[in-house]
Amino acid sequence: MILTVEHVTRYAYDAPVRGLVQSHRLTPSDSEGQRVLDWDVSVSDGIRGGRFRDGAGDVVESWSVTGPVLAVEVRVTGRVETSDCAGVLRGHRETIPTACYLRDTPLTWADSALRNLAAQAQGMEPLQAAHHLSGVVSKAIAWTPGATQSQTTAAEALERRQGVCQDHAHALIAAARDAGIPARYVSGYLLAGGVQDAAHAWAELHVPGLGWIGFDAANGCCPDARYIRLASGLDAQDAAPIRGSARGGGGEVLDVTVAVSQSQQ
């Protein structure tokens, strides 16, 4: 299918900022499951900087804004042709060794409860273990918008038994790594109907012989033609679509709207 994306991120400051710099992972890469037809990223009053493909195969682009400014808008529009590869990532060029994704981060550190989840996969074949862990996490954490924040860890989300897609992904990653399965966080888009207040996220687990396979524990499925893959990392902070800093100013108000729709072939 062909998916159309409109993703707008607005930053409003209560005092003018002297300037800001941002690093974007907002452009999808082509793979067997997705082909970019057209894509545009713009920043109000922004100056486009360097652009490169990192070791994970993701497109990274820098932007800067010279102030004073009270507001900045990052707008993403584009169309991507997608197909269902049963969650298997094929044709994606990357150079980072898979073993690097066994490394914990503060957001994905496994406490005793997560280690107990990982222990359930002992003795299973890697693919079976990956599906099992995704199902366990899906049942353990109820989808509850507003129950967690961006800094909530996998262990905290599991303890609360509530969270959103970020928490499902972090918990699955933590359990998988503890079970010896390389795992990483993926940011992207999902055709879900209506306007959303955030992009989507899921996990990818590495299975010998198949490679990276996506698992969306929040929705109890593997990514299919409804998904657009943007970028990956060790956790949500590492794979964030927008990272940056502002000079001067005061408080910041962030507003995000995401609309994904299906276009005619």
Helices (DSSP H) in 120-185: which residue ranges? Answer: 126-140, 154-160, 165-178
Q: Same domain for 88 and 188?
A: yes
Q: Same domain for 196 and 66?
A: no
What is the pLDDT, as a whole number, of residue 187?
A: 97
Cβ neighbours around 195 below 10 Å, total: 11
Q: Same domain for 223 and 206?
A: yes
Contacts of 136 (CB under 8 A, 6+ apart): 117, 120, 175
Q: Same domain for 100 and 168?
A: yes
Q: Which amino acid is at 54?
A: D
Q: Same domain for 150 and 228?
A: yes
Q: Same domain for 227 and 178?
A: yes
- Residue 228 structural domain: 84-233
Query: Per-residue pLDDT tens for 93-133?
Result: 999 999 999 999 999 999 999 999 999 999 999 999 999 99
Over pLDDT 70: what percentage of the chain? 99
Q: Same domain for 49 and 97?
A: no
Mean of per-residue pLDDT scores for the chain: 95
What is the pLDDT, as a whole number, of residue 169?
A: 98
CATH code for the domain of 193: 3.10.620.30
Contacts of 35 (CB under 8 A, 6+ apart): 80, 81, 82
Domain count, the chain: 2
Is the entire prediction scored with pTM above 0.85? yes
What is the pLDDT, as a whole number, of residue 195?
A: 77
Q: Where are the beta strands (DSSP E) in the chain?
A: 2-27, 34-43, 46-53, 59-82, 142-143, 162-163, 183-190, 195-196, 200-207, 211-215, 227-233, 242-248, 252-263
Cis peptide before 68 (omega within 30 of 0): yes
What does the alpha-carbon distance between residue 98 and residue 89 come to, in Å, rounded to a whole number? 13
CATH code for the domain of 13: 2.60.40.2250
Q: Which amino acid is at 141?
A: I
Q: Same domain for 42 and 149?
A: no
Q: Same domain for 103 and 210?
A: yes
Question: 């929040």: which residue's tokens?
Answer: 218
* CA end-to-end span of the chain: 7
Q: Same domain for 96 and 195?
A: yes
Q: Same domain for 142 and 62?
A: no
Q: Same domain for 191 and 101?
A: yes
